[in-house]
């Protein structure tokens, strides 16, 4: 993320307002980049067919991408919040987000695969939930934490 250096410099100057401004700019730029990259992913099945990928594999890949794609935006924004905190020497927020996301991913995959019998679809659904949990944790601590 490009704003890390700027956030660190603003933090060193004890200007927390400027840190937040740089974070918000990073979120804005990440949102634009996400939109630019997400649009071609809507046609991923056709892209895989054009490059000669096996149709069965292309179907699996397209299913995964189409399920995960909306939540991927929240992962991108989550990274902006984690970077915002870590550039101010608060690294535990990113750690909490990662641990909680991975834990939820593991549990939801087991539940969706074994109990709901969703098969392959359990993996992208769990990944989407993982990204949302990770965003929620990083956002909550970075936005409402007492250290900022």
Q: What pLDDT, on a 0 to 100 scale, did the predictor assign at position 75? A: 96
DSSP sequence for 51-99: TT--HHHHHHHHHHHHHHHHHHHHHHHHHHHHHHHHTTT--HHHHHHHH
Q: What pLDDT, on a 0 to 100 scale, did the predictor assign at position 146? A: 74
Q: What pLDDT, on a 0 to 100 scale, did the predictor assign at position 1? A: 59
Q: What pLDDT, on a 0 to 100 scale, did the predictor assign at position 137? A: 96
Residues of the chain with pLDDT below 50 are none
pLDDT one-digit tens code per residue, 39-67: 999 999 999 999 999 999 999 999 999 99
d(CA 98, CA 54): 34
Please say whether the beta carbons of 123 and 64 come within 8 A.
Answer: yes
Q: What pLDDT, on a 0 to 100 scale, did the predictor assign at position 15? A: 92
Whole-number Cα distances in Å, 39 to 27, 43, 112: 18, 8, 28
C-alpha angle 38/28/94, rounded to 5°?
85
Q: What pLDDT, on a 0 to 100 scale, did the predictor assign at position 24? A: 94
Give the pTM. 0.89
Please say whether the beta carbons of 87 and 142 come within 8 A.
Answer: no
């Amino acid at each position: 993320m490009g704003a890390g250096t700027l956030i660190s410099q603003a933090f060193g100057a004890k200007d927390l307002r400027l840190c937040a401004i740089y974070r918000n700019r990073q979120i804005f730029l990440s949102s634009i980049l996400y939109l630019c990259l997400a649009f071609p992913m809507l046609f991923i099945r056709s892209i895989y067919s054009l490059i000669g990928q096996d149709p069965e594999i292309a179907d699996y890949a397209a299913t995964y991408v189409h399920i995960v794609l909306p939540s991927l935006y929240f992962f991108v924004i989550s990274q902006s919040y984690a970077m915002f905190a870590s550039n101010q020497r608060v690294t535990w927020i990113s750690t909490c987000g990662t641990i909680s996301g991975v834990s939820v991913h593991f549990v939801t995959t087991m539940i969706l695969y074994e109990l709901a019998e969703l098969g392959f679809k359990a993996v992208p659904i769990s990944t989407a939930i993982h990204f949302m949990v990770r965003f929620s944790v990083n956002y909550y601590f970075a936005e409402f934490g007492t250290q900022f």
